[in-house]
């Protein structure tokens, strides 16, 4: 079941990124939904699903980007595994701690990706710091929003159910 | 053989994944081409899902555009009608010019240009990562699309095909960090290479320090890179910088609006060869 969820989250992130870039326009899309999905998988399911999710999403991005297969794959696998370890060693439930995890994962991903690209003689931006900073913040904002949505939905449902039960009990008391 | 301790299994798996990736990358660096089976398999699976997703989104948009959002249609119709008339006149002028050019070519004994064969394609998805600038087209191998075919639109160069599946293909946009094309300044004929910056802009490098150019000059393909035929509009010179004592670097504004790409044309023929040599303008 976990494997299925990991695959579904990865594929959904790639399809959504493709659709959003198509609608918004290629150059203005700074958020990496694939990495957001990998961080979510790693925090939700642990380091091994994070590692495998990173491999799947990264290889998918490489295949559809037309670059060298394995570049984003390796970068995302490392980011997923490291995030999984952080998620198991520390309590990452607060907004600030999650924000730090998203920023850290983006920085680690960029470090591996740019480092490998430089080693292979591929072109890298002359000063990637601004790019990485924008991407870190974008990923963190989108990731935190998605976490809120995922967590609020079942919570909101439970709250609604509890209120309904309370109303029923009140109505019963009124009739008896 | 004893199984690895469960405590260390994750670490072993991590090591295996890293080594696997390094081997995969090394194989491609050595052969200068991607492993077709893995890449094609992944691409086919993902682009099929993207096609389906785009079909749903475009269906919803079509209902909205076709039925709900009809305000201003009459005004649009009038404007398009006027534009159509102007374009018809322009075509007449161009046809007259072309006739003159063909006569001159015949006089000079040059070969007649092969007409372009194109495949119109719809963009079904944009880039799946901010590190790459690419699009997915709904035309693939079964439509005659091959790797390295140029992709254009009504305005100019969009990019080149980098991966082809049966019914889809991935196009590396001209603004991608790893994209390059041999180009000339149309007015002066100064040659250089146009490279993508990865942020939506282009730069032209390896231009001679004595090359003449100014802001607003058109940059067109030179036809020397065995991908793009000669004369396709790439962009407009925006700023001229000096790049060392021997070269100049030019910032080029792309002619194509990459944020509004909805469709494109894949140039199926002529085959991607140096058209200067075809015309007999290159001394071998």
Q: What is the pLDDT of residues B163-190, one digit of tens each?
A: 888 888 999 999 998 899 999 998 888 8
With an 8 Å Cβ cutoff, are B172 and A59 in contact? no
Nearest by CB: B178 against A22, A67, A78 = A67
Q: What is the rounded distance in angstroms from the CA atom of residue B221 to the CA atom of residue B182?
A: 6
Query: Got the DSSP string for chain B?
Result: -PPPPHHHHHHHHHHHHHHHHHHHHHHHHHHTS--HHHHHHHHHHHHHHHHHHHHHHHHHHHHIIIII--TTHHHHHHHHHHHHHHHHHHHHHHHHHHHHHHHHHHHHTPPPPPPPEEEEEEEEE--SSTT--EEEES--GGGT--TT-EEE-SSSEEEEEEEE-SS-EEEEETTSTT-EEEEEETTT--EEEEEE-SSS-EEEEEEETT----TT-EEEE-S-SSSSPTT-EEEEEEEEEEETTTEEEEEEEESS-GGG--EEEEEEES-SS-HHHHTT-S--
Mean pLDDT value across chain B: 80
Structural domains of chain A, with CATH: 2-148 (1.10.1760)
Distances in Å between the Cα of B101 and the Cα atoms of A13, A110, B140, B155 are: 52, 52, 35, 22
Most confident by average pLDDT, A148-152, A157-161, B2-6, B194-198: B194-198
With an 8 Å Cβ cutoff, are B53 and A74 in contact? no
Residue in chain A closest to B31 (alpha carbons) equals A68
Distances in Å between the Cα of B139 and the Cα atoms of A78, B48, B157 are: 35, 12, 18
End-to-end Cα separation, chain B, in angstroms = 65
Nearest to A75 by CA among A120, A29, A106: A106
Query: Got the DSSP string for A153-165?
Result: HHHHHHHHHHHHH
> How far from chain centre, in Å, is Cα B221?
12
Backbone angles phi, psi at A172, to 5 degrees: -60, -45
pLDDT along chain A (176 residues), means of 10: 86 90 75 93 91 93 84 94 90 87 94 90 78 90 88 66 71 70
Structural domains of chain B, with CATH: 116-284 (2.40.10.340)
Q: What is the rounded distance in angstroms from the CA atom of residue B19 to the CA atom of residue B40?
A: 22
* Cα dihedral B231, B235, B239, B240 in deg (nearest 10): -20
pLDDT confidence of B282, banded at 50, 70, 90? Answer: very low
Query: In percent, how much of chain B has pLDDT > 70?
Result: 83
Q: Quick check: helix, strand or coil at residue A32?
A: coil
Nearest by CB: A25 against B124, B134, B258 = B258
pLDDT confidence of B281, banded at 50, 70, 90? Answer: very low
SS (H, E, C) A59-110: HHHHHHHCCCCCHHHHHHHHHHHHHHHHHHHCCCCCHHHHHHHHHHHHHHHH
Kindly report, residue by residue over B48-104, the tens digit of the pLDDT.
888 888 888 888 877 777 776 676 777 888 888 888 888 887 787 777 777 777 777
Q: What is the rounded distance in angstroms from the CA atom of residue B86 to the CA atom of residue B80?
A: 10
The answer to whether A135 contacts chain B (CB < 8 Å) is: yes
pLDDT given for residue B236 in this prediction: 93
With an 8 Å Cβ cutoff, are A21 and B29 in contact? no
- Report helix angle A33-45 to A71-89, nearest 10: 40
With an 8 Å Cβ cutoff, are B13 and A48 in contact? yes
With an 8 Å Cβ cutoff, are B134 and A32 in contact? no
Contact at 8 Å (CB) between B160 and B172? yes
Backbone angles phi, psi at B226, to 5 degrees: 65, 20
Residue B115: is its pLDDT beyond 70? Answer: no
Chain A from 38 to 77: CB within 8 A of any B CB: 47-48, 51-52, 55, 59-74, 77
With an 8 Å Cβ cutoff, are B125 and A60 in contact? no
Distances in Å between the Cα of A27 and the Cα atoms of B46, B105, B257 are: 21, 41, 10
Tokens in use for A166? 């309370």
Contact at 8 Å (CB) between B131 and B148? no
With an 8 Å Cβ cutoff, are B125 and A135 in contact? no
Q: Which of B102-106, B140-144, B150-154, B272-276 has the lowest mean pLDDT?
A: B272-276
- Cβ atoms within 10 Å, residue B93: 9
Q: What is the rounded distance in angstroms from the CA atom of residue B251 to the CA atom of residue B235?
A: 10
Q: What is the rounded distance in angstroms from the CA atom of residue B232 to the CA atom of residue B241?
A: 24
The answer to whether A81 contacts chain B (CB < 8 Å) is: yes
pLDDT given for residue A83 in this prediction: 94
Residue A18: list chain B partners with CB under 8 A: 50, 53, 124-128, 136
């Amino acid at each position: 079941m976990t494997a299925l969820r990991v695959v579904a989250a990865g594929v959904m992130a790639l399809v959504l990124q493709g659709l959003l870039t198509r609608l918004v326009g290629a150059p203005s899309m700074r958020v990496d939904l694939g990495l957001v999905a990998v961080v979510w998988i790693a925090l939700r399911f642990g380091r091994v699903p994070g590692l495998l999710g990173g491999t799947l999403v990264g290889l998918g991005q490489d295949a559809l980007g037309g670059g060298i297969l394995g570049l984003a794959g390796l970068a995302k696998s490392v980011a997923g595994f490291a995030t999984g370890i952080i998620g198991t060693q520390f309590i990452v439930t607060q907004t600030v701690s999650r924000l730090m995890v998203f920023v850290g994962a983006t920085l680690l991903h960029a470090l591996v990706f740019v480092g490998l690209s430089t080693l292979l003689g591929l072109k890298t931006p002359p000063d990637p710091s601004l790019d990485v900073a924008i991407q870190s913040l974008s990923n963190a904002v989108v990731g935190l929003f998605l976490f809120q949505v995922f967590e609020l939905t079942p919570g909101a449902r439970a709250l609604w159910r509890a209120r309904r039960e309370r109303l029923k009990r009140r109505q019963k008391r009124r009739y008896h | 053989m004893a199984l690895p301790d469960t405590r260390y299994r994750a670490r072993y798996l991590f090591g295996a994944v890293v080594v696997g990736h390094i081997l995969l990358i090394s194989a491609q660096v050595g052969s200068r081409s991607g492993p077709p089976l893995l890449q094609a398999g992944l691409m086919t699976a993902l682009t099929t899902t993207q096609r389906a997703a785009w079909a749903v989104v475009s269906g919803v948009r079509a209902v909205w555009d076709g039925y709900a959002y009809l305000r201003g249609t009459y005004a649009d119709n009038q404007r398009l009608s006027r534009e159509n008339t102007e374009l018809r006149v322009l075509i007449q002028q161009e046809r007259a010019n072309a006739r003159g050019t063909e006569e001159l070519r015949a006089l000079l004994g040059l070969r007649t240009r092969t007409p372009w064969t194109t495949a119109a394609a719809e963009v079904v998805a944009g880039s799946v990562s901010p590190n790459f600038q690419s699009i997915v087209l709904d035309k693939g191998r079964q439509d005659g699309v091959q790797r390295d075919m140029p992709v254009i639109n009504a305005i100019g160069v969009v990019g080149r095909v980098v991966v082809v599946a049966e019914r889809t293909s991935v196009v590396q946009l001209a603004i991608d960090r790893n994209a390059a094309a041999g180009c000339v300044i149309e007015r002066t004929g100064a040659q250089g290479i146009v490279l993508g910056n990865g942020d939506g802009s282009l730069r032209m490098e390896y231009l001679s320090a004595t090359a003449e150019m100014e802001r607003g000059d058109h940059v067109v393909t030179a036809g020397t890179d065995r991908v793009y035929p000669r004369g396709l509009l790439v962009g407009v010179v925006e700023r001229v910088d000096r790049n060392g004592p021997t070269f100049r670097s030019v910032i080029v504004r792309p002619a194509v609006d990459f944020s509004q790409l909805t469709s494109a044309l894949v140039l199926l023929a002529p085959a991607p060869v140096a058209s200067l040599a075809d015309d007999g303008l290159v001394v071998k």
